Amino acid sequence: MLARKVLFIGLVWPEPTSSAAGTRIIQLIQLFLANGDEVHFASAASKSDFSFELTTLGVIEHEIKLNDSSFNDWLKELNPFIVVFDRFMIEEQYGWRVQQECPNTLRILDTEDLHFLRHARQQAHKLKTEVDHYNEVTKREIAAILRCDLSLIISQTEMDLLQKFNICEHILYYLPFLEEAISTTENWKDFEERKDFIFIGNYLH
């Protein structure tokens, strides 16, 4: 029996040492590899010094062009069983091409985390207002979720939030970070006992 072809299309090449998104994608890749699948990764971005060498895992790498018909020809020849988009923006750019050339391919969106929630919180902080989930990013991201066969959601809070938008739970799959537990929750400090932690995102710091 031939191995299934699984194609990841990334906004950037995974950088697990510099971003949580990079760690997430490597974990998903390893899941498919453990299942015996033939994994391909494609991106139109340039590699950086932090890019993970996917070939060391046995992943086949492909450099693709953005907004170019050559992607359609290449995709049709590859004919993957599954395509994984690593953010909703990637689904916007390539999803329609996948649908056009490989209509029977299963399309999965890894949301990384919900960008519209992140955007809403950022705006609320900037404007000193309540968090408003109804924004332009929300429309785009939910549209991408509805176009895909399945979307991977990283937190239960996001799962609950998406239910408020009446998204069918059958196209959502709760899949948190696939980390080994380092301690049981019983050993964690209470919230009131914690202090002195700050997280700065986007690697722009």
Tens digit of pLDDT for each residue in 5-29? 999 999 999 998 888 888 999 999 9
The CA distance from 13 to 77, in Å, is 22
- The 10s digit of each residue's pLDDT in 161-204 is 998 898 988 999 999 888 765 667 777 888 888 888 777 766 66
Q: Can you give the residue ranges of every domain in the chain?
A: 5-193
- Taking the C-alpha atoms of residue 111 and residue 144, their distance in angstroms, rounded to an integer, is 10
Owner of token pair 């040492």: 17
Token couple for 194? 């914690």
Q: What is the CATH number of domain 5-193?
A: 3.40.50.2000
Alpha helices in the chain (DSSP H): 20-34, 70-78, 88-101, 115-127, 136-147, 156-163
Distance CA 39, CA 29 (A): 7
Closest CA to 84 of 18, 168, 21, 133: 21
Amino acid at 102: C
**Residue ranges of E strands in the chain:** 5-10, 38-43, 60-63, 82-85, 106-110, 150-153, 172-174
Going by pLDDT thresholds of 50, 70 and 90, the confidence category of residue 31 is very high
Distances from the Cα of 108 to the Cαs of 39, 40, 137, 150, in angstroms?
14, 14, 19, 5
Q: Under a CB-based contact definition with an 8 Å cutoff, are residues 57 and 30 in contact? A: yes
**Do 161 and 131 touch, CB atoms closer than 8 A?**
no
Give residue 202's pLDDT.
64
Which pair of structure tokens corresponds to residue 132?
């408003």
pTM of the predicted model as reported, rounded to 2 decimal places: 0.86
One-letter amino acid of 92:
E
